Amino acid sequence: MKQMGKKGLLLVFTGNGKGKTTAALGMAFRALGHGQRVAVIQFIKGSWKYGELESAKCFPGRLDFHVMGRGFTWNSDNMDKDIALARQAWTFARTTIAEGKHDLVILDELTYLISYAMIDEDEILAGLAARPESMHVVVTGRGAGKGLIAAADLVTEMREIKHPYHDGVKAQKGIEY
Amino acid sequence: MKQMGKKGLLLVFTGNGKGKTTAALGMAFRALGHGQRVAVIQFIKGSWKYGELESAKCFPGRLDFHVMGRGFTWNSDNMDKDIALARQAWTFARTTIAEGKHDLVILDELTYLISYAMIDEDEILAGLAARPESMHVVVTGRGAGKGLIAAADLVTEMREIKHPYHDGVKAQKGIEY
């Protein structure tokens, strides 16, 4: 659903609390319910998991899901390889944005590419700024920096007030994955 | 999907920023993707809207959606009527929890019933504490008080860092509704 003449929003969910990726997931299903097309690009580990991927099957052809971070650990002793993988992932994201095929693009855990100095922040901001007028982009991840916050239209910090892991509770189906 | 011998979690998404209901929506679709049963009870206005209700049609018989707040304004000049409606809504929620038919129950904007002194906090905490072992409960809304936070297993404060409404941007399809 195009929104002509209106700049798409850049939304950032950051902070150390739970709910960043979950809120992005909620936005994806909201958009899908409107008949929109959604791309999810996951930069790190498996923060989108079985539950949401099963749900996504309800929307054939409208949710494109890409895991770029398989193999990333960000603790690698081969920094050159990590940077090459990060660049490959970012290039894919930038191309997806520029192509303009989606109404909503979710860049899950993108902030880490900046925090870990894998990709220059200016390059990422330029790629985000190049989004088509009809496209909203959501960036999630801890530690969003000043540049990203300045560029964003909406920023929510998810602050951890209390987390069950601190009490030794294990991850539970439907809650964490 | 039952989790025997494990107490269901109470999760609270509070704070003044965007993402509380959206994160609850994400949790609902995650749970639905696992084949679980979900109830959403919406206490105030239409924070769950067209987009998510359309998506919900993908999961016939597994998502029960109840709008209790139709007509609530919390600015009523008929306080007795407001309190009666709030009590009716809370009784429905408490019964839904006690029945134990769902794996996840979302009480959207429940905090306002406590903040506006419509229902006694102790009564709400007792109802939440009575959840079956197999059921997770999510409470959203601004201004979660100390009692609710103490009772919760996980609390995230969604802090507003930046919001487009401040710049005069109107609500956009797929983002706000």
Q: CA dist B155 to A18, A37, A40, B11, B125, Å?
A: 8, 32, 26, 6, 15
CB B97 within 8 A of CB B73: no
- Measured between CA atoms, the residue of chain B closest to residue A167 is B153
pTM of the model: 0.88
Establish if B167 belongs to a structural domain: no
In this complex, how many residue pairs, one in chain A and one in chain B, have their CB atoms less than 8 Å apart?
199
Which ipTM did the prediction report?
0.85
Measured between CA atoms, how close is B84 to chain A, in angstroms? 32
Query: Which one from B7, B22, B29, B87 is the annotated catalytic residue?
Result: B22
pLDDT at residue B152, rounded to an integer:
97
Taking CA atoms, what residue in A is nearest to B160? Answer: A156
Q: Are strands B10-14 and B154-162 parallel, antiparallel or unpaired?
A: parallel
Kindly state whether residue A168 falls inside one of the protein's structural domains.
Answer: no
Phi-psi map region of A51: left, alpha, beta (phi>0 left; psi -120 to 50 alpha): alpha
C-alpha count within 13 angstroms, C-beta hemisphere, residue A37: 14
- Calculate how close chain A gets to B135, using CA atoms only, in Å: 11
In a domain, B48, yes or no: yes
CA-based nearest residue in chain B for residue A36? B174
Q: Do B30 and A52 touch (CB under 8 A)?
A: yes
Q: Is A146 on the interface with B (CB under 8 A)?
A: no
Query: With an 8 Å Cβ cutoff, is B25 touching chain A?
Result: yes
Q: How confident is the model at residue A2 (pLDDT cuts 50, 70, 90)?
A: very low
Q: Is residue A172 part of a domain?
A: no
Decide if B175 is inside a domain. Answer: no
* Neighbour count for residue A23 (Cβ, 10 Å): 30
Q: Which residue range(s) make up the domain with A62?
A: 10-158
Indicate which residue of B14, B37, B96, B109 is catalytic. B109
Q: Of A55-64, B62-71, B136-145, which gets the smallest average pLDDT? A: B62-71
Chain A residues within an 8 Å CB radius of B65? none
Q: If contacts are CB pairs under 8 Å, which of residues 102-141 in chain B contact chain A?
A: 103-104, 136
Chain A closest-CA separation from residue B119 CA (Å): 24
Q: What is the pLDDT of residue A60?
A: 85
B156 and A19 in contact by Cβ < 8 A?
Answer: yes
pLDDT band at B69 (very low <50, low <70, confident <90, very high): low
List, in order, residues 6 or more apart from B58 with CB less than 8 Å away. Answer: A55, A58, A59, B32
Q: Is the residue at A2 inside a domain?
A: no
Look at residue B147 and tell me whether its pLDDT is greater than 60: yes
The DSSP bridge partners found for residue A38 are: A63, A104
pLDDT of B78 reads: 77
CATH number, domain of A114, equals: 3.40.50.300
The shortest C-alpha distance from A170 to chain B (Å) reads 10
What are A8-59's pLDDT values in tens digits? 999 999 999 999 999 999 999 999 988 999 999 998 866 677 777 788 788 8
A127 located within any domain: yes
In chain B, how many domains are there? 1
Closest CA to A43 of A78, A91, A76: A91
DSSP code, position B8 = P
Question: What pLDDT does B51 receive?
Answer: 76
Which residues in A117-151 are b (16+ Cβ under 10 Å) and which e? ebbebeebbebbeebbebbbbbbbbbebeeebeeb
Residue pLDDT, tens place only, A102-147? 999 999 999 999 998 899 999 999 999 999 999 999 999 999 999 9
Is residue B169 assigned to a domain?
A: no
From B18, B45, B49, B142, active-site residue:
B18
